[in-house]
Amino acid sequence: MAGKFQKTSMYIDHNPAIIENGDFRKNVDDDGRPKRTGTWMTASAHIITAVIGSGVLSLAWAIAQLGWVAGPAVLMAFSFITYFTATLLADCYRSPDPVSGKRNYTYMDVVRANLGGRKVQLCGLAQYSNLVGVTIGYTITASISMVAVKRSNCFHKHGHHVKCHTSNNPFMIIFACIQLFLSQIQNFHKLWWLSIVAAIMSFAYSSIGLGLSLAKVISGPHARTTLTGGTVGIDVSASEKVWKTFQAIGDIAFAYAYSTDTLKSPPAENKAMKRATSIGIATTTVFYVLCGCVGYAAFGNDAPGNFLTGFGFYEPFWLVDVANICIAIHLIGAYQVIKHNHVAYHRSSRGGTIYLCNTSRDGINNNTLTVQVFCQPIFGFVESSCAQRWPESEFINGEYPINIPFCGQFCVNSFRLVWRTAYVVMTAILAMLFPFFNDFLGLLGAASFWPLTVYFPIEMYIARTKMPKFTFTWTWMKILSWVCLVISLVAAAASIQGLATDVKKYKPFHTEQ
């Protein structure tokens, strides 16, 4: 085995782009970080690609629970709240002054600069808990799509009347095995192309689903739809109507997430961020309304939980297969990383931000490269915390370089191998225990929407502006926060009730419908 050497498991090479003609200052900002190159146009594109994801698959079902009146209204309400709180967060990017203050490069940095204290720990708990939930949800969604490909071909071959039951578990194991390999890649930022592929796949399956729904509406016969969604006594019982209504709100909350690029100045970053936010969220809202409403028009009150795997579409079977393959490919990449870029900050109900850098006391130095990811922040947090707690441990800090033919040198770390493998296995086991798409998405949306999307942005804005208590603006912002908290709690309760009900009905060797 090659010689052993000591360095942090978060090590990456220096970024050669920082140095130009011997003068690194040409390519760095005034705070020593790589120069920001993003514009409101690139940021808008990043917001659109980050927001449009697997949450779109459940929107037809969500509209079916709410109906033609409340469904679009709830979508628009979440759109407005997301936009409003994003503009508050944009003003907190630099502190104490939104134009000339010190830049905060992560969500937790923003909370630390504006609120401090235990709220920083609560923010971290909310973020990391949500990231764990998302990885479990992605394992569920990817396996359902893999199963759908097999079932689609079975239906095409044997007819639509055949049940074609297939277990999700083998496909969850396949997905987990792929993630076991990807999670061990040390310099994940070099796989920038994986993010591009994931974004293309996301647009592909969303567009295919929208197109198939539109074709179904045009071809007829028309499905039964109502102004209030599922009808009590016909489609659902009174109690089911209440629970599914709130669960649908949780699904819509999950669909909305937010991300932004690093923006150069002038103009001031907060102004560019606000412009990018308005364009990005407006575009995704139009897309969501189309997918949800056209999907509801196609399927009516019997809309499946996932409109690409619930087999409202049987033909053309090859196009349904393409869409579900796109979902699986997207989630294989998204499980690890959303996209690669130098970021100003990241606020998302789905992802997080982590620094990958050379060894330093706190795991972060000034010339860092940031990657927005799902699993990687969790991996990095645990690994850096353990490295600081046990700096002399060879098991935690020892790196063993291995030469792989045609691939170059790969560094193996014992702790990283054991810990990341255990994490992927744990998420796969939990996904097998609770393989319920809509319930899990609703729970994730409910759990992350209020703290990350509403509470912290509002509290930081109030603290930064030193807003007096009980003024008009302070009062209605607090009311908005409390209303969103109540909505999140009832949506979470409805999703938990749905999970409990589905667990009782669950047949482990049948695919989740």
CATH number at residue 197: 1.20.1740
- 102 located within any domain: yes
Report how far apart, in Å, the C-alpha atoms of 326 and of each of 148, 287, 501 are.
12, 18, 30
Largest interatomic CA distance in the chain: 75
3-state secondary structure of 338: strand
Q: What percent of the chain has pLDDT over 90?
A: 28
Q: Which of 250-254, 356-360, 396-400, 505-509 has the lowest average pLDDT?
A: 356-360
Assigned domain for 2 exists: no
User: How many domains in the chain?
Assistant: 1
424: amino acid identity, one letter: V
Residue 32 lies in a domain: no
**Residue 397 pLDDT grade (very low, low, confident, very high; cuts 50, 70, 90):** confident
User: How many other C-beta atoms lie within 10 A of the C-beta of residue 461?
Assistant: 19
Work out whether the CA dihedral 433, 435, 438, 444 comes out positive or negative: positive
User: What is the distance of C-alpha 10 from the center of its chain?
Assistant: 22
Domain assignment present for residue 292? The answer is yes
Q: What is the mean pLDDT of residues 61-88?
A: 92
Q: Which residues partner with 236 through β-bridges?
A: 232
Mean pLDDT is highest, among 66-75, 273-282, 395-404, for 66-75
Dist. CA 493–CA 252, nearest whole Å: 15
pLDDT at 351 over 70: no
Answer yes or no: is 33 within a domain.
Answer: no
Predicted confidence at residue 258, as pLDDT, reads: 53
pLDDT per position as a tens digit, 103-148: 777 788 889 988 988 999 998 888 888 888 888 888 998 999 999 9
- Relative to beta strand 398-404, strand 5-6 is antiparallel
pLDDT at 99: 66
Domain assignment present for residue 321? The answer is yes
Whole-number Cα distances in Å, 428 to 149, 150, 177, 281, 308: 20, 20, 10, 32, 22
CA 269 to each of CA 30, 35, 39: distance values in angstroms, whole numbers, following the listed order: 14, 13, 9
Structural domain contains residue 273: yes
pLDDT at 30 > cutoff 80: no
- The answer to whether residue 355 sits within a structural domain is no
Return the higher-pLDDT residue of 385 and 257: 385
- On average, the pLDDT of the chain sits at 77
Evaluate if residue 352 carries a pLDDT over 80: no
315-341 exposure pattern, b = at least 16 Cβ within 10 A, e = fewer: eebeebbebbbbbbbbbbbbbbbbbbb
201/352: higher pLDDT: 201
Does residue 199 carry a pLDDT above 80? no
Instruction: Give residue 90's pLDDT band: very low, low, confident or very high (50, 70, 90).
Output: confident
pLDDT above 60 (res 25): no
Model confidence, pTM: 0.78
pLDDT at 473 over 90: yes
CA distance 510 to 157: 20
Is-cis flag, bond preceding 221, omega within 30?
A: yes
Tens of pLDDT along 31-53?
555 555 555 455 555 555 555 66
**Residue with more model confidence, 95 or 396:** 396
Q: What is the pLDDT of residue 48?
A: 57
Residue-range definition of the domain harbouring residue 377: 40-341+368-504
